[in-house]
């Protein structure tokens, strides 16, 4: 089949969860189908070249100004209060992109359009011809509800509430513009099905590259904890602040010399400031997260906001590391508390469970071994790519 994927960017380099998922699934689709990839970018960019090397047909559109600082940015935020669409939609919509998409639909002979992020469903509204599928990496309205719950600034909370309501309305509409949808977890799929859709929602879970992420011979620092994730994503920023302010002090009372390392690109100024505290390291962008994971005694996932399922947990498990997570952090994964992961929500209990994992070597090793077995059994990209391919074919050929 001929498949057109539309996305905000070309998914490379593989340094965010969304890029990793989009790239690996699209790369597997390209094994069986002819895949074009429409995204904001430049034909002279390394990302564009990587798409060609990876057997895609990339199509670049000049990106709009989406800077997140300065007077112009804050004016856009203010004006979005009065828009009928949420900011995550209006900030990604461009007439040039729409025109290029419409042209491709007219001339490309595509069997299916795969919308690789929910806000980009704006481009498929009213499209006639190929079948349309939305890939929901998260339930965006759930994320915005989480922002609202955890925001203490009353003015920011009002703005977030305004946006959260719009995101929820947009989701209720946009999935009805499509002929199919995928979710990354069964819990997310249930939320989509509750919208009253007239098609089957398929669960295509996140995966992990088991050849790249595997146990490594490295000297483990018994006092080191690690978290990896894009630090320009608000749920990860909130996780870092929560762990440092509410959990770490209780761990320090019982274990001197403990250090938590947050590894990820583009930390905000507020997140970077945490690195000035004793026992906290904020690395910023790194070329390879694996040495940090390999050196750590345990991997922590203190997420309080989110949806979907966590690539970061799968990577840690693949490297044979014990994982301590909040329920939200582990949501959607095939995990069982105290068997292949430790799940804890209360800050005091989270601290106690971290200490247990650090102090009980046999418990730690059992978690690590069971975690690796779990990802080997359920989370190979090749099998997930085949599942997505089968679903696309079923939607495209449906009468």
- The CATH number that applies at residue 24 is 3.40.50.2000
Query: 182 is in which domain, residue-wise?
Result: 2-207+381-396
Query: Are 123 and 150 contained in the same domain?
Result: yes
Query: Are 191 and 237 contained in the same domain?
Result: no
Look at residue 149 in the predicted model and tell me its pLDDT.
Answer: 85
Query: Are 131 and 244 contained in the same domain?
Result: no
**Does 214 fall in a domain?**
no
Look at residue 367 in the predicted model and tell me its pLDDT.
Answer: 98
CB 19 within 8 A of CB 49: no
Query: Are 193 and 336 contained in the same domain?
Result: no
Q: Can you tell me the distance from the alpha carbon of 104 to that of 198, in angstroms, rounded to the nearest whole number?
A: 27
pLDDT at 254 over 90: yes
**Does 213 fall in a domain?**
no
Question: Which DSSP string corresponds to 101-137?
Answer: HHHHHHHS--SEEEESSGGGGGGGTT--SSEEEEEES
For the chain, how many structural domains are there in total?
A: 2
Query: Are 390 and 369 contained in the same domain?
Result: no
pLDDT at 309 over 60: no
Sign of torsion over alpha carbons 79, 71, 240, 7: positive
Query: Are 385 and 349 contained in the same domain?
Result: no
Average pLDDT over residues 365-377: 97
CB 39 within 8 A of CB 151: no
Query: Are 154 and 249 contained in the same domain?
Result: no
**Does 287 fall in a domain?**
yes
Query: Are 231 and 200 contained in the same domain?
Result: no
Q: What counts of helices (H) and strands (E) characterise the chain? A: 17, 13
**Does 263 fall in a domain?**
yes
**Does 307 fall in a domain?**
yes
Sign of torsion over alpha carbons 355, 361, 363, 364: positive
Question: Between 295 and 156, where is the model more confident?
Answer: 295
Write down the mean pLDDT value for the chain.
94
Q: pTM score, two decimals?
A: 0.87
Average pLDDT over residues 52-80: 83
Beta strands in the chain (DSSP E): 2-9, 34-40, 57-61, 112-115, 131-136, 180-183, 201-203, 221-228, 259-263, 280-282, 296-301, 323-325, 342-343
pLDDT in tens, 147-188: 888 888 988 899 899 999 999 999 999 999 999 999 999 989
**Three-state DSSP class for residue 54:** coil
Query: Are 69 and 203 contained in the same domain?
Result: yes
**Does 323 fall in a domain?**
yes
């Amino acid at each position: 089949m001929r498949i057109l994927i539309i996305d905000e960017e070309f998914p490379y380099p593989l340094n965010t969860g969304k890029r990793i998922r989009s790239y690996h699934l699209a790369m597997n689709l390209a094994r069986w189908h002819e895949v074009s990839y429409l995204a904001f970018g430049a034909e002279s960019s390394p990302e564009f070249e990587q798409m060609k090397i990876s057997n895609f047909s990339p199509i670049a559109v000049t990106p709009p100004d989406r800077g997140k600082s300065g007077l112009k940015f804050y004016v856009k935020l203010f004006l979005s209060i009065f828009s009928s669409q949420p900011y995550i939609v209006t900030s990604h919509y461009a007439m040039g992109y729409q025109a290029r998409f419409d042209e491709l639909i007219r001339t490309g002979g595509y069997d299916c359009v795969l919308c690789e992020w929910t806000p980009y469903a704006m481009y498929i509204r009213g499209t006639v011809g190929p079948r349309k599928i939305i890939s929901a990496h998260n339930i965006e309205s759930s994320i915005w509800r989480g922002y609202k719950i955890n925001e203490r600034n009353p003015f920011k909370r009002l703005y977030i509430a305004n946006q959260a309501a719009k995101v929820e309305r947009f989701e209720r509409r946009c999935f009805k513009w499509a002929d199919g949808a995928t979710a990354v977890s069964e819990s997310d799929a249930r939320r989509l099905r509750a919208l009253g859709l007239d098609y089957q929602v398929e669960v295509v879970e996140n995966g992990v590259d088991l050849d790249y992420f595997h146990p490594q011979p490295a000297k483990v620092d018994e006092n080191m904890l690690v978290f990896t994730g894009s630090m320009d994503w608000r749920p990860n920023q909130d996780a870092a602040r929560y762990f440092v302010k509410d959990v770490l002090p209780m761990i320090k009372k019982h274990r001197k010399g403990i250090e938590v390392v947050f590894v990820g690109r583009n930390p905000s100024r507020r997140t970077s400031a945490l690195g000035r505290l004793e026992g906290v390291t904020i690395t910023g962008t790194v070329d390879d997260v694996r040495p940090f994971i390999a050196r750590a005694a345990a991997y922590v996932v203190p997420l309080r906001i989110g949806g979907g399922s966590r690539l970061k947990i799968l990577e840690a498990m693949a490297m044979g590391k014990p994982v301590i997570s909040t329920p939200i952090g582990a949501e959607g994964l095939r995990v069982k508390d105290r068997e292949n992961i430790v799940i804890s929500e209360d800050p005091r209990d989270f601290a106690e469970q971290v200490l247990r994992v650090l102090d009980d070597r046999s418990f730690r090793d059992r978690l690590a071994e069971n975690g690796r077995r779990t990802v080997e059994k359920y989370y190979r990209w090749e099998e997930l790519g085949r599942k997505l391919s089968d679903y696309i074919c079923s939607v495209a050929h449906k009468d």
